[in-house]
Structure 1
Amino acid sequence: MRAYGGLRSLALAAGLLAAATACSGSGEPTPSPVAATTSATVTPTVPSVAPGVSLSEAANAFSEYTLTDDVLRAAGDRRLGKELARDGRVDLTAADFASTDDRPPRHTWGTPTFLVPRLRPDEPLWFSVVVPRDDRTAVLTFAKGTDWRLSALSVLLPGERLPEVKHDAAGYAEAVGADDKGVQISPRYIAPLHATIAERGPAGIAAGLIAPGPYTTETAAEIADNRTAFRKEGFSYDSIFSAADYPVYALRTVDGGALVQYSLLRTTSMASVVSISPFLPVPPEGRWALGKDQYRDNMKIYETHQYVATVPPASAATVIAYDGSITKASGE
């Protein structure tokens, strides 16, 4: 069976669901056909090692994912939708369905560009795709276990551009190992450094290593402002970021730096301290997970965030793409 056979099985199951819902008259648009392309910066020689995943296999896996994902979204099938994902995307996919009463948005895909690293067959296998999605550029990474599943997805931020990735003459990208010391920050350390500056801002140890921006120093400022505002209302407030125990994916760029995709978890806790304000307000985007508009004693909100960052040879790492949401919450 081909490596992407698991997705094919889901596609068949999804086809049955599509037939069952064909008369629903939803009026949703049908995603445009996907044409597989590759772009490469050519170097003089082609390595003799056969890649663990071929360019054609990556193209087939991506095509099957987009087709199956659309059918499952149209059918509102959360269970099978989660089967297309792994790592941080499992919780994010579940939240996508749950927060919309199992009517998540459907997506329109453009022409993809594949970033397939030349990996040995005995290494963990993965590949990335850069593709227009709903008029924005998305960066997706698929990883292989028994089959191919979506592991990470981020959307390019306004005004940002992806750096050029280094390729060999056959069109395969060069992976950067988690502990590679040939780049300014080894990929393994991007997530914990980002977590530090998102909590503490310029005062953190990551100052100078992670560039300021809306998902780093501005998040820290927001946390500080919330802590002050909640204290005035008689509540405690804290928000903690941690590096997720999910794979980190990195590719070499032509300038000698790296393009890194990684995840963070965020836990926000609020609790009543003194009886100034009687209730904790629930943020609108979290009401689907809590079922109430307010709580009296305490509340916890859990989030999963995925990022793409560039690590230039001699300057701070910069977050250029993001996706994330609340994945669960509790309160009393």
Structure 2
Amino acid sequence: MAVRTFVPILIPGLLATAVSAGCSSNSSSAASGKPQGTPALTKAQAQQALTSFADGINRAGHGFSGKTLRSVEADPQLSMDYAALRLRRTIRKRPPKLAFTDTTFYIPRLTGYPHWFAADAVSGKGKGALRHALLFTQAKQGAPWLLAADPYPSENALSRVALDPQGLATPVGPDVKDLAVAPAKLPQAHASLLTDGPKASGASVLADGAKTSETYKALKQGEKVLAGRGVTLSSRFSPGRYKVYALRTKDRGAVVWYVLQQNEAYSASRRGKLAVSGDLIGLAPAKSARTRMDTTVLVQYLATVPPKGRATVSGMYRKAVAAHGT
């Protein structure tokens, strides 16, 4: 999206390394084989929601307007993009204009609120093209449609979503038993892996990859590099306080949107080792980090869960949302 800057996990001024919520009770029973509920909206309405979002986000980016951003986004997207907006306002660099192409909508049948739908779309062109797995929510009847999540998938994971004869998708409940891992359990499994490694309890449900085992290795290597420079880093991940959303796939699996929170603590024995830089710009005064820095980071993920086997994480959007230096 237009106001964000996608930056891998940044250790202030020192190191860059690669790290870079539940379906509501309205979910249909995918096991029953009989469609339940009604469409969240029509495809024409979904296109209108996407167009309105793009218009609003472009206005927010041009004017560095948090108020406008709040009119088109909901958390966790709002908190993350507001932090990105603060960064751009601080460095005085407006984001490029956002426009979507190659859009496909995935509209579930629902039996209650919040209503929601997903969209696969591409922004940018050529080498600058970026795929999106957008998730919009509507809190209640008549409320605006707001972007709640948009992890960047490395592949078109949403093309696996199953559609019924009417072209509608099937939502998957957070605690279903017919998947390799229930969607509600994915955040804790992923948080355990990134905090304690692939051998942590429950982490075996996730396949090795750039956003799982390789991220853990990069974090551990980063800690070693920092230690050699007189900086201690501790990092812990936990499930975010947001709903998990999931859609049934053609192989009876699911694609799942979920969020983790990362808490980082940096400490140095001498001043000058830490700095508010990179992804943290705009979140704290530039010279506030003297010997300690604490940050809060939100990370959105998109995972594909099979009926049997290990879940694969294909999408991610990471952004520091708070920083405090002493």
User: Does the TM-score normalized on the shorter chain lie above 0.5?
Assistant: yes
Q: Does 1:82 align with 2:77?
A: no
Within the alignment, does 1:310 sit opposite 2:301 as a pair? no
1:124 aligned partner: 114
Residues 109 and 290 (structure 1), Cα distance of their counterparts in 2 relative to 1, 3 Å cut: same
> Which residue of the other structure, out of 42, 54, 62, is the alignment partner of 1:66?
54
SS at match of 2:296: strand
Could you list the per-position Cα deviations for residues 69-125 of structure 1 after superposition, in whole angstroms to 9, with x for gaps in the alignment? 2233223322211221112111112112111116233222103100011111x2421
Given the alignment, which residue of 147, 151, 155 partners 1:154? 151
State the Cα distance separating 1:163 from its structure 2 match.
4.5
Deviations 1:168-207 (A, max 9, x none): 1111101100111111111101111111111222221234
Whole-angstrom distance in 1 between the partners of 2:162 and 2:178: 14
Aligned residue for 1:100? 88
Query: TM-score scaled to structure 2, two decimals?
Result: 0.80
User: The residue matched to 1:295 in structure 2 has which SS?
Assistant: coil
1:51 corresponds in structure 2 to 39
Partner of 2:162: 166
Using the alignment, how far apart are the partners of 1:48 and 1:231 within structure 2? 55
Give the counterpart of 1:187 among 183, 198, 205.
183
For the pair 1:331 / 2:314, whether they are aligned, the reply is no
Of structures 1 and 2, the larger Rg is shown by: 1
Cα distance in 1, alignment partners of residues 171 and 108 from structure 2: 5
If asked which structure has higher relative contact order (CA below 8 Å, sep 6+), I would say 2
Superposition TM-score, scaled by structure 1 size: 0.78
The alpha carbon displacement at 1:293 in A equals 5.9
2:30 is matched with none
> Quick one: distance in 2 between partners of 1:151 and 1:91?
10
State the Cα distance separating 1:291 from its structure 2 match: 3.1
What is the RMSD computed on CA atoms of the aligned residues? 2.3
The C-alpha deviation readout for 1:42-76, integer Å capped at 9, x for no partner, is xxx98474334333332222222122222332233
How has the CA–CA distance of structure 1 residues 283 and 118 changed in structure 2, closer, same or farther, with 3 Å as cutoff? same
Q: Does the CA contact (< 8 Å) of 1:311 and 1:318 recur in 2?
A: yes
Is the 2:122–2:132 Cα contact (8 Å) retained in structure 1?
Answer: yes
Which residue of structure 2 aligns with residue 200 of structure 1?
Answer: 196
Match of 2:79 in 1: 91
Q: CA deviation at 1:294?
A: 7.4
User: The residue matched to 1:87 in structure 2 has which SS?
Assistant: coil
Work out whether 1:289 is the aligned partner of 2:277. Answer: no
On the 8 A contact 1:279/1:294 being kept in 2, the answer is: no
Q: Percent identity?
A: 26
**After TM superposition, where is structure 1 displaced by more than 6 Å over at least 4 residues in a row?**
none
The CA distance in 1 between the partners of 2:59 and 2:275, in whole Å, is 36
Structure 1 pair 114–225 and aligned structure 2 pair: CA distance change class (3 A): same
Q: Structure 2: how far apart are the matches of 1:132 and 1:321?
A: 14
**Number of residue pairs matched?**
284
Q: Structure 2 unaligned runs (5+)?
A: 1-32
1:144 aligned onto 2:138: yes
Unaligned runs of 5+ in 1: 1-44
How far 1:281 moved relative to its partner? 4.1
Deviations 1:215-262 (A, max 9, x none): 211221222223333334444310111111111110000101100011
The separation in 2 between residues aligned to 1:114 and 1:139, in whole angstroms, is 10
Q: Which residue identity lines up with residue 132 of structure 1 in the other structure?
A: V
Shift in CA distance, 324/110, structure 1 to aligned 2, threshold 3 Å: same
